[in-house]
Amino acid sequence: MLVRRAFIPDAQRPESFDAWPYTVPCVAELAEHGLTFTSPVTMIVGENGSGKSTLVEAIAEGFKLDAHGGRAGRKYTNDRPKTELGDVLKLETTPAGGRMLTGPRSKRKGFFLRAETAFGLMNTVGGLYGYWEDDTATMSHGEGFLTVFDAMFRDRGFYVLDEPEAALSFESCLKLVALMHNLGQSGAQVICATHSPILAATPGADIIEVGEHGTHRRKWDELDIVDHWRRYLNDPNTYLRHITDA
């Protein structure tokens, strides 16, 4: 592992939690107590608006990954400022993580994949040295994501993903599960925000569920997303009768 904990130093902790992003329960909890990582693969799950993307984006920035998304050691041309949380969040690293962060930028390994900006990034850097040769513009969105994963998720580095399942089919999600598991086994570290019960089932992953309660560690079969998908697939009408006239 490369990162043990994310926290906000006392000197930078807000006096009041009445303003965003500290009004988000999981962010307020991080500000007060920090967030500890106990496994090479961490899955952060929760509903829309629960704060999971806010967390992973700030964690990526804490490892000096571009807020726009992209590989470690590279600053991309964009006008996206550092997030408010990313500006104050710090990471407690392992010795290996510390060496990577304080050493030459060229030695920093990792990638931040933001689903909402990934397509533009792929079209910008595809074919450049250090990336991938295939033209993702000629591929489906999901095929493009898999091309990025195959090319960029290899080294012993720090990988942050924000809802990567947005472009992936069932089978492609399984491929990503295998990749994240193998990265964790290799000494890399993965932190993934997801709605997908498939990705959340990555073997050995530490699962953190975020919501109005703040953060709680859960077993896979205790997750709300798993319960809802089970119920829906077993009998869709259980849900659909409340939103349709059927």
The structural domains of the chain, with segments of one domain joined by +, span 40-83+96-240
% pLDDT > 90, the chain: 65
Please say if the pLDDT value at position 29 is more than 90: yes
Q: How confident is the model at residue 123 (pLDDT cuts 50, 70, 90)?
A: low
Q: What is the mean pLDDT of residues 44-55?
A: 95
Query: Would you put residue 195 in left (φ > 0), alpha (ψ -120 to 50) or beta?
Result: alpha
74 near 64, Cβ under 8 Å? no
Please say if the pLDDT value at position 132 is more than 80: no
* pTM > 0.85: yes or no: yes
Alpha-carbon torsion, ordered 32, 108, 120, 45, to 10 deg: -30
Q: How confident is the model at residue 131 (pLDDT cuts 50, 70, 90)?
A: confident
Please say if the pLDDT value at position 246 is more than 80: no
Structure tokens at 27: 């962010």
% pLDDT > 70, the chain: 90
Strands (E), 175-237: 189-194, 206-211, 214-218
Please say if the pLDDT value at position 224 is more than 90: yes
DSSP element (H, E) containing 36: strand 35-36
Please say if the pLDDT value at position 170 is more than 70: yes
Q: What is the mean pLDDT of residues 172-189?
A: 96
**For 1-28, what is each residue's pLDDT tens digit?**
999 999 999 999 988 899 999 999 999 9
DSSP element (H, E) containing 239: helix 237-240
**For 60-81, what is each residue's pLDDT tens digit?**
999 988 777 777 766 655 556 6
Look up the CATH superfamily of 40-83+96-240: P-loop containing nucleotide triphosphate hydrolases (3.40.50.300)
242 near 79, Cβ under 8 Å? no
Q: How confident is the model at residue 119 (pLDDT cuts 50, 70, 90)?
A: low
State residue 127's pLDDT score: 67
Output the CA–CA distances (angstroms, integers) from residue 75 to 69, 78, 79, in the order listed: 9, 9, 11
Rounded CA separation 238/63 (Å): 44
Query: Reduced to 3 states, what is the DSSP secondary structure of residue 82?
Result: coil
Q: What is the mean pLDDT of residues 205-224?
A: 96
Question: What mean pLDDT is reported for the chain?
Answer: 89
Indicate the range of 96-100, 120-124, 130-134, 236-240 predicted with least confidence: 120-124
